[in-house]
Amino acid sequence: MPIGGLDFIRKRFEYRIFDDDVFKASWTDEVISEPRFRNSINSGPGELIIRLSRSFDDFGEDDDVKLNNRVDLWVYDRQVPNGKLIYRGFISGYRPILDGNKEYVEVTALNYVFELSHYMLEDASGNTKVAYLSYDPSDILRDAIVKYRANGGTLNYTPTSIQNTNTTVTYTFNTNTVREAIDKCVELAPEGWYWTVGTDSIIYFKPKEAVSAHKFQIGRHISKMETWRRIEDVVNKVYFTGNTTVSGTGLYRKYSNTGSIASYGMHAVNMTDGRVSITGTADTMANRMINNKKDPEIRTALTLLDNNGTYQYKGYDIESVLPGETIQILNIKQGVKTTSLWGIMIWGTDVWGATLAYTAADVIQIMSIDYTPDALAIEATSRLPDISKRIEDIDRNLTSLQVKDNPTAPVAG
């Protein structure tokens, strides 16, 4: 309703609960927490914590509050008065809490992307050794999803959600999870390709867009922003070790970018994957890393205001922004000190520096978003992040090396 002549629309949320696709309840009037979750590129939405105003000893356990029940989170605001689905997941845990005279139930929901790490990549015969000879990485991804769904998986793809890379690779998986297979498809694809999971539980695989999907203005849309440039993770030389033998034969190659070495010094890394035996596959993986990391990274963190409030001409439709999309920052000034629309910041060469200012205004890609009802925290970069950086991923790669020569199928114990 209008307030002070402004088109004020109060944002509201609805949580719809399903048990095997059968509608159970709507938690619209019982939720006492605000929705907050993270969504990342080459991954999907994270956990969503929901607090229900229910009694400690009578809260609908095994009815609507039941493990594996589906949770759909809908938002209603100025842009979508009829509602929009912004999160879909399943109840992975719950705990009733008694705190003095307060009683409530805390429910944890996880997106279905978490399933991918719980399913092994195996064919209809139960074989965990799956070979792909001269495949487009996109076709490998499609086949992995088909095999995962055959075992009961939830996520799916459509004829248009997975685009073709128009490249060919050869790779053999052995005792790998579906999540590991999807991550490997990104490594096998050319530079710039990534995957995400939509709110519709559809997997998307596509290249970075050259044209920005969103344009944000300092002062009107952006309340906070910082940009930095770093060189420590530049890679301009790769030593690639593939399938080798004890006698010292096999696949061992090196790749380099002389222009990057001349500009930033030598930054060499070892890249190892014992399942690679084809030179073309090694070329794709090594060149992808060099092309992606030969230049310093420009990273930008910003906070985007929501436009549902008393200031209808400020803010942005934050529910329309997704990880993987490209953005462009407007109003970045260089050469002339100009007060921003906020009136509290000075944008000029003394702040950003010549190269950084221009680059910050270039088209960059969203790595992750942190959603809250009133604002969206965005982390964007001039290049895609690595697939494997965590300790558990390093352990996963070690395990993959250890099981690469496993038999085709396990023996039932």
Tens digits of residue pLDDT in 198-229: 999 999 999 999 889 999 988 889 999 998 88
Number of domains in the chain: 4
> Tokens at residue 145, please?
């999803």
Q: Whole-angstrom Cα distance, residue 365 to residue 298? A: 11
Residues 151 and 83 in one domain: no
Domain boundary residue among 111, 128, 150?
111
Pick from 174, 389, 181: which is nearest to 269 by CA? 389
Same-domain check for residues 175 and 133:
yes
pLDDT tens digit sequence for 279-335 = 888 898 898 889 888 988 888 999 999 988 665 678 999 999 999 999 998 876 544
Confidence of residue 23 (pLDDT cuts 50, 70, 90): very high
Spatial distance between the Cα atoms of 160 and 166, rounded to a whole number of angstroms: 15
Q: Minimum mean pLDDT among 16-30, 32-46, 160-174, 397-411: which range?
A: 397-411
106 and 255 belong to one structural domain: no
My answer on whether 47 and 146 are in the same domain is no
Q: Answer yes or no: do 177 and 202 share one domain.
A: yes
- Residue 409 counted as domain residue: no
Q: Tell me phi and psi for residue 376, to 5 degrees.
A: -130, 120
Can you give the pTM of this predicted structure?
Answer: 0.80
Of 60, 94, 111, the one marking the end of a domain is 111
Are 353 and 222 in the same domain? yes
Q: If DSSP codes are grouped into helix, strand and coil, which group holds residue 279? A: helix
**Residue 319, domain member (yes or no):** yes
Using DSSP, state whether 55 is helix, strand or coil.
strand
Residue corresponding to tokens 């991954």: 43
> Strand 129-135 relative to strand 169-174: parallel, antiparallel, unpaired?
antiparallel
Does residue 399 belong to any structural domain of this protein? no
401 domain-assigned: no
Kindly state whether residue 408 falls inside one of the protein's structural domains.
no
pLDDT in tens, 322-370: 999 999 988 765 443 343 444 334 333 333 333 455 555 578 899 999 9
Q: Are residues 224 and 366 in the same domain?
A: yes
Confidence of residue 116 (pLDDT cuts 50, 70, 90): very high
Claim to verify: residue 156 and residue 198 sit in the same structural domain: yes
The CATH number of whichever domain residue 151 belongs to comes to: 3.55.50
Torsion angle, alpha carbons of 245, 247, 251, 256, to 10: 130
| 227 and 323 together in one domain | yes
Domain with 341, as residue range(s), is 214-231+297-381
Q: Do 138 and 32 fall within a single domain?
A: no
Residues 219 and 324 in one domain: yes
Is 388 part of any domain? no
Per residue in 30-81, pLDDT (tens digit) is: 999 999 999 999 999 999 999 999 998 889 999 999 999 999 999 999 889 9
